[in-house]
Structure 1
Amino acid sequence: MNAGDLLSLAEQACVDAAKLLRELPVDVALKGTFDQVSTADLEVEAFLRQALTGGAPGSAVVGEELGAEHAKITWYVDPIDGTRNFVRGIPLSCISVAAAVDGELVAGCVLDPFRDELFAAAEGVFTVRSGGLTIPPGTSPRPVVLTDIPLPGSPYSGEMEVLGELMALADVRRIYSTALSLAWVAAGRADAAANLGIHPWDIAAGAVLVRSAGGTFRHIGTNGFVAGRGEIVDWLTERLEGIVK
């Protein structure tokens, strides 16, 4: 299967998963001091695993809730990125799926079920399909940056200082959905996104989206990233690299 075929499979799986999501009851449990999992997370991931590996026999899945396996074709799945928002009815969460071939990310899609928006990219082509109101992104005198820094329980010192400095340079938004943040950067709604304490399934699809839309995606240490366009990307990279050393 080529990248386009993998993207088509991922898109259809996300669309079908969103339909399932609307029908599921939601019960919530803690899976860590600062993290939650819902029954919807588990059922949507199970559905995505079956749809993706069924459509691409021999492929494997790295998922947030149900474990990780690798193969020539590996899917990175976050069934609900932004669970803490989702379970409270705050419309800032998404379904995120990416495909890697021989370890290289080649396709990704992020579906926002609240706004019926699908962000998709493969082979350097980025598209947005929306079932709701869309407003072309404009520009502003100050860059817009999406970040959740500092996360509760973060092991890094200095994050509050960086956040304070950043707020003097940019308009900062905290939405607590990394995949959705990256999709919005790719779409030009924000200039940059950055987080620490992330996992591969949080960023895989978003990295494909940003790069395919002409932006930069940089890994910071083993569990951070900076993505976007413009001078603010270099500033964030320097400051966050200083934190994780």
Structure 2
Amino acid sequence: MTPGELLSLAAKSCVDAAGLLRSTPLDVAPKGTFDQVSNVDLAVEEFLRAALTAGAPGSAVVGEELGASTARVTWYVDPIDGTRNFVRGLPLSCLSVAAAVEGELVAGCVLDPFRDELFTGAVDVPFEVRSTGLTITPGTSPRPLVLTDIPLPGSPYRGELELLASLLSVADVRRVYSTALSLAWVAAGRADAAANLGVHPWDVAAGAVLVRSAGGSFTEIGVDGFVAGRGEIVGWLRERLEGIVS
């Protein structure tokens, strides 16, 4: 399958899976000290696994909730990125699916079910936003806008609070607690950069594709961090995050 075909399958699967958010009564359980999982997470991931592997026979899935395996075509699935927001009714979460071929990310989509916005992009497929809600062409500001959840509770890194204080002196900052949604917004030009530590492959795979397909950069930092976006603030963030993880 081409990157475009993989993208079409990912996007259709996300749109179909979003129906489960409305039809599944919510039940929540703890997952570790600082995290949660809901039955909706599990139902959506189960649906996405079935739809993606049926549409691309022989493919495999790396998912947040139900385990990981790899193949020539591997899907990265986050059924609800921003579960802690979702279970509180905060409209800051999304479904996220990316496709990798031979280890290279080639297609990604992020679906915001609250705003009915679908962000898509792939190798040789331009970034696109499909929205049925209010959309505003992003304007400019003398200060860059950065999306970050640093510092996260339980982080093993030192210096994160100092980084946040320094960042506030040079940029406007928003804490979204949905990495995939943050990256989609960077791709759409609503923010200049996003940066986080403590992330997993399913958190960033789709967003990395979106940012790159929109002409921005996505750089991994250490084993669980990244910086993505456009402009001088990206280099500023990369230098400081590299200092923290080292």
Pair in the same fold by TM > 0.5: yes
Which whole-Å deviations, capped at 9, do the CAs of 1:147-169 have from their partners, x for residues lacking one? 00000000001000000000000
Alignment of 1:44-193 (within 5 A): 44-124=44-124, 125-193=126-194
**Alignment match, 1:199:** 200
* AA at the equivalent of 2:151: P
Runs of 4+ off more than 6 Å: none
Q: C-alpha separation between the residues in 2 aligned to 1:150 and 1:115? A: 27
Kindly state the Cα deviation for residue 31 of structure 1 after the two structures are TM-superposed: 0.9
Q: C-alpha separation between the residues in 2 aligned to 1:121 and 1:164? A: 34
2:4 matches 1:4 = yes
Gaps of at least 5 residues in structure 1 are none
* AA at the equivalent of 2:165: G
Which whole-Å deviations, capped at 9, do the CAs of 1:105-148 have from their partners, x for residues lacking one? 00000000000000000124100000111111111110000000
* AA at the equivalent of 1:170: A
Q: C-alpha separation between the residues in 1 aligned to 2:86 and 2:167? A: 27
Q: Is the 8 A contact 2:120 2:210 kept in 1?
A: yes
Which whole-Å deviations, capped at 9, do the CAs of 1:198-244 have from their partners, x for residues lacking one? 00000000000000000010000000000000000000000000000
Q: C-alpha separation between the residues in 1 aligned to 2:63 and 2:46? A: 9
Which deviates more from structure 2 when the two are superposed, residues 132-141 or residues 144-153?
132-141
Q: Is the 8 A contact 2:20 2:40 kept in 1?
A: no
Kindly state the Cα deviation for residue 20 of structure 1 after the two structures are TM-superposed: 1.7
Q: C-alpha separation between the residues in 1 aligned to 2:242 and 2:98? A: 26
Q: C-alpha separation between the residues in 1 aligned to 2:72 and 2:239? A: 34
Q: C-alpha separation between the residues in 1 aligned to 2:49 and 2:178? A: 21
Q: C-alpha separation between the residues in 1 aligned to 2:96 and 2:186? A: 15
Q: C-alpha separation between the residues in 1 aligned to 2:76 and 2:114? A: 22
Q: C-alpha separation between the residues in 2 aligned to 1:23 and 1:3? A: 31
- Partner of 2:43, secondary structure, is helix
Q: C-alpha separation between the residues in 1 aligned to 2:140 and 2:53? A: 41
Kindly state the Cα deviation for residue 4 of structure 1 after the two structures are TM-superposed: 0.5
Which whole-Å deviations, capped at 9, do the CAs of 1:56-76 have from their partners, x for residues lacking one? 000000000000000000000
Q: C-alpha separation between the residues in 2 aligned to 1:138 and 1:183? A: 17
Which whole-Å deviations, capped at 9, do the CAs of 1:66-98 have from their partners, x for residues lacking one? 000000000000000000000000000000000
- Partner of 2:29, secondary structure, is strand
Superposed CA RMSD: 0.5
Q: Percent identity?
A: 79
Q: C-alpha separation between the residues in 2 aligned to 1:19 and 1:13? A: 11
* AA at the equivalent of 1:208: V
Q: C-alpha separation between the residues in 2 aligned to 1:123 and 1:138? A: 27
* AA at the equivalent of 2:111: L
- Partner of 1:22, secondary structure, is helix
**Alignment match, 1:218:** 219
2:235 matches 1:234 = yes
Q: C-alpha separation between the residues in 2 aligned to 1:25 and 1:226? A: 36
